[in-house]
Amino acid sequence: MYASFDNSFTHLLNWYINNKKNYYNKDVCDMEARGKCMQNAVSSVYNPTYESEPFVDFETIGPSTEIEELNLNWQEKDLPERIRTKHVHRLHPYLGKFIPQLVEIFLRKYEPKTVYDPFSGSGTTLVEAKSLGINSVGCDISEFNVLLSKVKTDDYDILLLEKEVKDIVKQFRIKNENTLDRSPILTTNNKYLNTWFAPKALHELLLFQSLIEDYEYQDVLKLFLSRSARSARLTKHFDLDFPKKPQTEPYDCFKHSRVCKPVEIASKFLTRYSYDGLKRIKEFSEVKNDASVELFCHDSRTVKIPNFDVLFTSPPYLGLIDYHEQHRYAYELLGLTSRDDEEIGPAFKGRSNGAKDDYVTKIYEVFKNAVKYMNEDGRIIIVVADKKDFYSSIRDDLGAIEEHKISRHVNRRTGRRNSAFYEDVLIWKV
């Protein structure tokens, strides 16, 4: 009985806090006082618990949907991994992704004609926009990220793509079976590739790569090659995300609960991921709609872009991930240009006070540049775990009003990064 009373009282208290009115009258606030008014302009701070039912009926979302009705605290049973990584969302592994259902909800709610993501990463925002028939613009400093987003969102002649994928796999198998006996193994002088791949695995990757130029959809095949290279490295099976050094000896495998050997071949991955990637692209082709996608490999602080209505993004977190380094194998194998020194808040720059100041300044500059291209009545929607409250100062300096702040509990991560954390969805009006 006491537990029930405590829960009821807590629920009532949370309701009062979350629905407390904050008044902001544009007509009575002069320009000098606007900053102070905006600090008190949060219309709702919503932090639901697992006690209420999570929202999963995404197709019912529309302009009349009340933000306060949305419980975004999904558990695995509410939003299974196969749904979170549907079709091309799992075309290639990528650290730091946010789940596509968050994008879907707010694109359905605000119905923009064009959405912009200045940290487009693996292209989650762009893919969801295309599935809803919404034009999108993406920008990223990483050449690999732009390639990944392009492959996910491009339009294809599916019959031709299927023919090419099947043919390159066939040609690879034929040449791989013969080449090892009749001609020298393909090699490279690249130090990274020679360090992180067994000789036979590297030969197979280089052989597949040598065939790509014979086909039209070369970017697709390069991505399949990259995904295969990630799995074919000399790493422990459970350490694909953050390998520190090549694994050349058998080891106790955390993932498989047995002694495992380092990977020596790449052929099985090249075949598996080529067919899996083809399947995912075909699945997306059946659900996507006609919409334009424009991609820029550029610094988001200075890029010139088309006008848009909603900015939806998940910025890099300070000192957490080196976005170029996580795909180093792709940069080395595909000959991409690394611009890791231009990343915002990378792990290698740490979390010192200087790094914090640099991070806040550059994130502000990204949004400041973006609002120059935002149409009237536009919104900025940010998915971020802002423990240090960096974004309140960015919001105030930007002259934005926080309409909503939705806190959500994230607890579905897998592997060795399975601890829970909290993130916010910030909705700003500029």
270 with 242, same domain? yes
**Residue whose pair of structure tokens reads 């006609």 in the numeric block:** 290
112 & 223 share domain: no
- Contact between 259 and 103 under an 8 Å Cβ cutoff? The reply is no
Q: How far apart are CA 116 and CA 313, in angstroms?
A: 8
407, β-bridge pairs: 424
**Of 121, 111, 124, which is closest to residue 300 (Cα–Cα)?**
121
Residues 274 and 298 in one domain: no
Burial pattern 330-348, b for ≥16 Cβ within 10 A else e, equals bbbbbebebbbeebbbbbe
Q: Are 191 and 250 in contact (CB under 8 A)?
A: no
Q: Is residue 21 part of a domain?
A: no
Same domain, 276 and 298: no
Is residue 350 domain-shared with residue 380, that is, in the same domain? yes
Residue 373 lies in a domain: yes
Residues 115 and 69 in one domain: yes
pLDDT of residue 20: 38
- Residue 419 is predicted with a pLDDT of 59
Residue 82 lies in a domain: yes
Q: What is the mean pLDDT of each run of 10 residues along the chain (430 residues)?
A: 39 40 35 40 54 85 89 86 92 92 96 98 98 98 98 98 98 83 76 96 96 98 98 90 88 86 95 98 97 98 98 95 94 97 95 96 98 97 94 96 90 54 90
Q: Same domain, yes or no, for 360 and 297?
A: yes
**What 3-state class would DSSP assign to 374?**
strand
Q: Do residues 214 and 102 both lie within one domain?
A: no
In a domain, 32, yes or no: no
Residues 240 and 306 in one domain: no
Classify residue 191: in a domain, yes or no.
yes
Domain ranges, residue 186: 158-285
**Domain check: are 306 and 389 in the same one?**
yes
Q: Does the residue 34 lie in any domain?
A: no
| Per-residue pLDDT, 405 | 92
Helix (H) or strand (E) holding 423: strand 421-429
Query: Into how many domains does the chain fold?
Result: 2
- Look at residue 38 in the predicted model and tell me its pLDDT: 42
In this structure, are residues 277 and 91 in contact, taking their beta carbons and an 8 Å threshold? yes
Q: What was the pLDDT predicted at 7? A: 42
The CATH number linked to 387 is 3.40.50.150
Residues in Cβ contact with 329 at an 8 Å cutoff, skipping those fewer than 6 apart:
192, 193, 196, 226, 229, 230, 233
Q: Please list, in sequence order, all residues whose beta carbon lies within 8 angstroms of the beta carbon of residue 165, skipping any fewer than 6 positions away.
A: 220, 221, 224, 274, 275, 277, 278
DSSP 319-351: TT--TTGGGHHHHHHHTPPP-GGG-SS-GGG-S
Please give the pLDDT value at position 12. Answer: 39
| Short-list 92, 129, 123, CA closest to 110 | 129
Judge whether 171 lies within some domain.
yes
Same structural domain, 314 and 280? no
Copy the structure tokens of residue 361: 């300044």
Q: How many CB atoms lie within 10 A of CB 171?
A: 15
Name every residue whose Cβ is closer than 8 Å to that of residue 106 and which is 6 or more positions away in sequence.
Answer: 310, 312, 381, 425, 427
Please report whether residue 407 resides in a domain: yes
Q: Residue 77 — φ and ψ, nearest 5°?
A: -70, -25
Count of CA atoms in the C-beta half-sphere (13 A) of 409: 15
Q: What pLDDT does residue 73 have?
A: 87
Give the pTM.
0.86
399 & 338 share domain: yes
Question: In Å, how far from its chain's centre is CA 140?
Answer: 11
